Amino acid sequence: MRRLFGAWCLGFVLLFAETNTTVVPEPVNEEQIALIASLNSQVEAIEKELQNNIWLTRYSNFVAHQSLSDALAKVEKELAVLKTKRDRASIERVEILSKRQETLEKQVELLLEFRRSPFAEMIRPPEMAEVPKVGNPIAIISGFSFIKQLRSQKDEFAQRLAGLEALIVRLEEQASMLEELLVLDPQKEYEEKLKIVQQEITEFKAAKDISSTTFTVYEKRVEESLTRVSAEIKQQMKRAMNIGIFILVVIALSFFLKLVAKRYIKDNERYYTANKAINFINFTLIVLILLFAYIENVTYLVTVVGFASAGLAIAMKDMFMSLLGWIVITFGGSFHVGDRIKVQKDGLPYVGDIIDISLLRITILEDITLTTYLENRRSGRVVFIPNNYIFTTLISNYTHMTIKTVWDGIDVTITFTSNHKKAMYLIKNIVKKYSKGYTDIARKQLNMLRDQYSLKNTNVEPRIYSFLEPHGLTISVWYMTNSYAALALRSTLSADIVDAINQEDDITIAFPTQTINLNDTRKPMPLDINKDVLF
């Protein structure tokens, strides 16, 4: 049976009520009996259908709470009267009523939330979350999520109220059947059920009137919020589309400029620099478009960025110095991608070709050079040099601007008895033979730099010198060579010089030697010398 808990409580309260027996008259015919049985079946079916109805359950709990409260009040009143008496029967009755009072208090406490209104929680609309402000494309996601959540809450509330309306309809059907049963078979049971059902219908209709008004107000609030968020989402989508078009135009323009640069700039280094500049400008324009599109108070942003930059400049001075170094490198023209440079760190030199110049560092690729041969014994590494090194460290550029040649030298030591003039003549001729092309190139390169630098000594012909050394005469020859292939020319010259000297009988290459005299030519020591003087 539905409303089990409420019925149990009512039965507990009415435990001591008098029972009146009513004689029910027998139905007059079989047709009436069948109709009464059909109506009873329908009433029981409705009771079974509504057994777990949330509205009916809460109302039953409310009725049970009222009944238990009334019973508790009667017990307390009777106890107050009995406690003034001192006879044995009154004392025993007080003990029984005290236990009953304790039981009723616990039951009332369990149903305390139904003390006032059984439908307060059911007809109260859900709490609306704060309406989000859709001010950027990312916030569109939260806007759609808010719309979905709000509509879900509204549908849930509407379904709850629809369940109340359906309950009222079923109770009215049940009341109509009970009224018909009373006409056919006037029993007290039907009369009591009808009163209960009619009372329930009255309560539920009152709750329906309140909930309808509440739902109307809530629905207007929901629609207002949905309209506002939907308008902001539409506005942001339109703005995002416009910004996307601007960004696509900027990207297309940068792509077009790269094609023009590739077609008309033949020098790889200049093309690389132009490509990097186009990328940087493209990135900067996109950032500015996004900033001015989504930041309402640009002045405030500038102020915040100013203070933040001041703090970051102190905490990250090396990074900011590298950025400043990048500006100096880019606009100063001291280094370009492809230049061969030499930088020293902790006493160890690194020589390589620049393969990239970014905002924070220069990237070089080591090559096999004389420095590699003499000191590192390692090559092929990718070395990252912070841009701030140009302010604190000496960086040598072997290929500055138009210069693509450097001076290189070879030292050859011959014995003191060798024909040194002939040796110098042979070595100088060999060097001139191989370095003639580089000498002409170097002369032209230096002449091109006269407009920018004050060049006085532009003699690039091979030079040869001779120096006295402890173990022989050192001939030092200097010549122009390719900055990227100095080691290869040095290897070729060294082999040819050795071959030319070995063919001459009057020239001998010197190397550290010692002379050992095997004949004892020492004179005898005088006998009159005091030995104590020697020791």
Please check whether residue 155 is in contact with residue 226, taking contact to mean a CB–CB distance below 8 angstroms: no
**Cα within 13 Å of Cα(2), Cβ side:** 22
Mean residue pLDDT across the chain? 80
Q: Are residues 364 and 412 in the same domain?
A: no
- Across the range 393-405, mean pLDDT stands at 86
Cα separation of 28 and 32, whole Å?
7
Confidence of residue 427 (pLDDT cuts 50, 70, 90): very high
Q: Name the more confident of 430 and 184.
A: 430
Q: What's the order of all strands across the beta sheet hosting 463-469?
A: 405-414, 472-482, 463-469
Decide: helix, strand or coil at residue 126: coil
Residue 492 lies in a domain: yes
Burial level of 84, CB count in 10 A (0-12/13-18/19+)?
exposed
pLDDT at residue 462 in the model: 92
- Across the range 493-507, mean pLDDT stands at 91
Task: Give the helix/strand (H/E) hosting 466.
Answer: strand 463-469
Per-residue pLDDT of 241-294, as tens digits, reads: 888 898 899 899 988 988 888 888 877 767 777 787 888 888 888 888 877 776
Query: What CATH number does the domain containing 378 carry?
Result: 2.30.30.100
Residue 55 lies in a domain: yes
521 pLDDT higher than 70: no
Q: Count of CB atoms within 10 A of residue 372's CB? A: 19
Decide: helix, strand or coil at residue 419: coil
Per-residue pLDDT of 164-199, as tens digits, reads: 888 888 888 888 888 888 888 788 888 888 888 888
Residue 532 lies in a domain: no
Cα separation of 233 and 296, whole Å?
17
Residue 85 lies in a domain: yes
**How many domains would you assign to the chain?**
3
Cα separation of 244 and 65, whole Å?
65
pLDDT at residue 517 in the model: 63
Q: Are residues 387 and 511 in the same domain?
A: no
Q: Are residues 159 and 105 in the same domain?
A: yes
**Residue-number span of the structural domain to which 503 is assigned:** 402-518
Q: Which pair of tokens denotes residue 507?
A: 């020239």
pLDDT at residue 71 in the model: 85
pLDDT at residue 330 in the model: 81
User: DSSP per residue over 34-59, as a string?
Assistant: HHHHHHHHHHHHHHHHTTT-HHHHHH
Q: Are residues 389 and 430 in the same domain?
A: no
pTM > 0.85: no
**Cα within 13 Å of Cα(300), Cβ side:** 3
Q: Are residues 357 and 469 in the same domain?
A: no
